[in-house]
């Protein structure tokens, strides 16, 4: 029997009906001669009683900023509850299973609460559970430090749990079940006729995730890529093939379709703020200008889309950091301008490399819709434009049509 990982996201375990669909997926695994190791997220979305955001808001409702260690302890409960409920559902259906916290599953992390880094995995508990033919059900999104403190892996971290356990037990495939049919050409919540991609290469989907496509965590893609385990993104609700994420060789082995488009997908990250720090040429300013990025780094504010000109430095930050950075720059006497509520829209495609005219087409699509481009950045396989957030939907739909992503 082949070992596989089956990870179920928050909406996939939201109610009894959906948990029964999860049981079907587990049943199918056995039918296909596979032994599933299950990873689950917390039940539901913000507002649902045990969802991660509900727990965070509960802690914050006291009126003080919760301690990071304790907040992780609280958040980790969401996944544990989800595991126990699913385990009982499996029992009702005649399957024996055993629940593990991230720590019990052997996920050892550093103590960077809220966004812990995995140091190593000790999968002995999981392996001996499998040996006894008992289905392990692992709480996603969490680990434990060397000295026994519970940590969380950052939002979307259950995908990371699935990939890292998959690597540790040498799984045949990591199946990620979610509320969409697979990786799509754009976020289906924005583009109605977004198409499911039959297959995508690791590096391409990694870019998508890095540039904001929420469907999979970039770290999960990174882990799967380094251990060469295929990821399969599928719908819990529908029976369909989903999207296979793999390398070039495996793609040929598994995939039937062809990847021929120059641009394969569009992603976006909202709530960005643009800062323009202006250099007035004076000797006093010169000194400040040279240490600007050091000051920002010392405050642990990460910046992106950095463009440097002789008289100006332009970059973007997460909107949540806007007020803090404004205060710092003001107190240090910098001359700067700020544009809030921006979105970074990115077109992604491995075949873009060296093909002229892609940027021209992107600019054309945005111009045709009177969307002002505030800034751009690019790599070999991506082009990003910063625009005002209220134009996001128009921009992404226009780009989707321009690059014919709505056509097969
Ligand atoms: P889960 O709780 O199952 O992990 P997420 O909400 O994290 O689910 O991820 C699924 C969501 O990702 C979808 O509902 C969809 O709106 C969003 N999404 C964003 N970009 C894409 C894309 N390119 N393809 C598919 N889904 C996407
Ligand atoms: Mg997710």
What confidence tens digit (pLDDT) does each residue in 215-224 have? 999 999 999 9
pLDDT tens digits along 143-172: 999 999 999 999 999 999 999 999 999 999
CB 232 within 8 A of CB 199: no
Q: Which ligand 1 atom lies nearest to the CA of residue 184?
A: 24
Measured in Å, residue 182 CA sits from the centre of ligand 2 at 12
pLDDT score at 353? 84
Instruction: Residue 339: name the closest of 305, 366, 362 by CA.
Output: 305
Q: Is 183 in the pocket of ligand 1 (CB under 6 A)?
A: yes
Measured in Å, residue 332 CA sits from the centre of ligand 1 at 41
pLDDT score at 384? 98
pLDDT tens digits along 1-38: 999 999 999 999 999 999 999 999 999 999 999 999 99
Among 180, 221, 261, which is best to mutate for testing ligand 1, by the most ligand atoms less than 8 A from CB? 180
Q: What pLDDT band is residue 279 in, cutting at 50, 70 and 90? A: confident
Q: Is 178 in the pocket of ligand 1 (CB under 6 A)?
A: yes
Taking the CA of 209 as reference, the closest ligand is 1
pLDDT score at 286? 74
Identify the weakest region by mean pLDDT among 72-76, 146-150, 310-314, 324-328: 310-314
Measured in Å, residue 215 CA sits from the centre of ligand 1 at 3
Q: Is 288 exposed, middle or buried (0-12, 13-18, 19+ CB in 10 A)?
A: middle
pLDDT score at 193? 95
pLDDT score at 127? 98
Measured in Å, residue 56 CA sits from the centre of ligand 1 at 21
pLDDT score at 249? 66
> What is the location of CATH 3.30.2130.10 in the chain?
265-402
Measured in Å, residue 360 CA sits from the centre of ligand 2 at 33
Taking the CA of 214 as reference, the closest ligand is 1
> Alpha helix (H) ranges present in 136-247?
158-168, 202-210, 218-227
Measured in Å, residue 147 CA sits from the centre of ligand 1 at 35
Average pLDDT, the chain: 94
Q: What pLDDT band is residue 207 in, cutting at 50, 70 and 90? A: very high
Q: What pLDDT band is residue 283 in, cutting at 50, 70 and 90? A: confident
Among 13, 14, 178, which is best to mutate for testing ligand 1, by the most ligand atoms less than 8 A from CB? 178
Q: Which CATH architecture has domain 265-402?
A: 2-Layer Sandwich (3.30)
pLDDT score at 289? 78
Give the pLDDT mean for 376-397. 97
Q: Which fold has domain 2-179?
A: Carbamate kinase (3.40.1160)
**How far is the first Cα of the chain from the last one, in angstroms, to the nearest whole number?**
36
Strand order in the sheet with 118-121: 118-121, 107-109, 142-145, 150-152
**Tokens (6 digits) for 146:** 């060397």
> What is the location of CATH 3.40.1160.10 in the chain?
2-179
Measured in Å, residue 100 CA sits from the centre of ligand 1 at 26
pLDDT score at 191? 98
pLDDT reading at 85 higher than 70? yes
Taking the CA of 78 as reference, the closest ligand is 1
Q: Which ligand 1 atom lies nearest to the CA of residue 45?
A: 2
Distance from C-alpha of 347 to C-alpha of 212, rounded to nearest angstrom: 11
**Tokens (6 digits) for 407:** 């056509």
Distance from C-alpha of 387 to C-alpha of 141, rounded to nearest angstrom: 32
Q: Where are the beta strands (DSSP E) in 172-296?
A: 173-178, 199-201, 231-235, 243-246, 265-278
Q: Residue 367's CB: how many other CB atoms inside 10 A?
A: 12
**Tokens (6 digits) for 55:** 């727990």
CB 275 within 8 A of CB 334: no
Q: Is 213 in the pocket of ligand 1 (CB under 6 A)?
A: yes
pLDDT score at 250? 60
pLDDT score at 29? 98
The angle formed by the CA atoms of residues 89, 90 and 92, to the nearest 5 degrees, is 65
Q: Is 11 in the pocket of ligand 1 (CB under 6 A)?
A: yes
pLDDT reading at 80 higher than 60? yes
pLDDT reading at 251 higher than 70? no
pLDDT score at 290? 80
Taking the CA of 195 as reference, the closest ligand is 1
pLDDT score at 196? 96
Instruction: Residue 267: name the closest of 164, 322, 190 by CA.
Output: 190
The DSSP secondary structure of 335-351, one letter per residue, reads: EEEEEEEEEEEEEE-GG
Residue 257 CA: distances (Å) to CA of 13, 194, 260, 261, 347: 31, 17, 9, 12, 21
Among 39, 78, 188, which is best to mutate for testing ligand 1, by the most ligand atoms less than 8 A from CB? 188
What percentage of residues in the chain have a pLDDT greater than 70? 97
């Amino acid at each position: 029997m082949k070992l596989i990982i089956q990870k179920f996201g928050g909406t996939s375990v939201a109610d009894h009906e959906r948990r029964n669909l999860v049981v079907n997926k587990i049943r199918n695994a056995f039918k296909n001669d596979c032994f599933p190791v299950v990873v689950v997220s917390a039940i539901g979305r913000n507002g649902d009683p045990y969802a991660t955001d509900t727990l965070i808001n509960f802690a914050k409702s006291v009126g003080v900023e919760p301690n990071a260690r304790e907040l992780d302890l609280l958040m980790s409960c969401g996944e544990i509850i989800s595991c126990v409920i699913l385990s009982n559902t499996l029992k009702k259906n005649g399957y024996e299973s055993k629940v593990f916290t991230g720590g019990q599953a052997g996920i050892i992390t550093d103590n960077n609460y809220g966004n812990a880094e995995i140091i190593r995995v000790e999968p002995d508990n999981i392996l001996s559970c499998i040996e006894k033919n008992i289905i392990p059900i692992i709480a996603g999104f969490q680990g434990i430090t060397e000295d026994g403190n519970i940590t969380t892996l950052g939002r979307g971290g259950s995908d990371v749990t699935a990939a890292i356990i998959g690597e540790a037990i040498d799984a045949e495939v990591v199946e990620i079940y979610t509320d969409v049919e697979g990786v799509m050409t754009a976020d289906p919540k924005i583009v109605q006729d977004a198409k499911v991609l039959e297959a995508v290469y690791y590096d391409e989907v990694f870019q998508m995730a890095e540039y904001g496509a929420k469907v999979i965590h970039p770290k999960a893609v990174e882990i799967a890529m380094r251990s060469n385990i295929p990821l399969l993104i599928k719908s819990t609700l529908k029976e369909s093939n989903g999207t296979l994420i793999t390398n070039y060789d495996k793609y040929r082995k598994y995939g039937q379709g062809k990847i021929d488009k120059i641009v394969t997908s569009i992603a976006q990250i909202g709530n960005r703020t643009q800062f323009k720090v202006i250099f007035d040429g004076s000797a006093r300013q010169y000194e400040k200008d040279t240490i600007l990025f050091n000051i920002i780094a010392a405050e642990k504010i990460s910046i992106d889309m950095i463009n440097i000109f002789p008289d100006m430095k332009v970059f973007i930050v997460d909107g949540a950091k806007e007020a803090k950075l404004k205060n710092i720059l003001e107190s240090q006497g910098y001359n700067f301008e700020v544009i809030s509520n921006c979105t970074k829209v990115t077109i992604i495609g491995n075949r873009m490399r060296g093909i002229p005219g892609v940027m021209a087409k992107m600019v054309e699509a945005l111009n045709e819709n009177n969307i002002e481009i505030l800034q751009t950045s690019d790599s070999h396989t991506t082009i990003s434009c910063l625009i005002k957030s209220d134009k996001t939907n128009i921009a992404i739909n226009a780009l989707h049509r321009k690059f014919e992503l709505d056509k097969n």
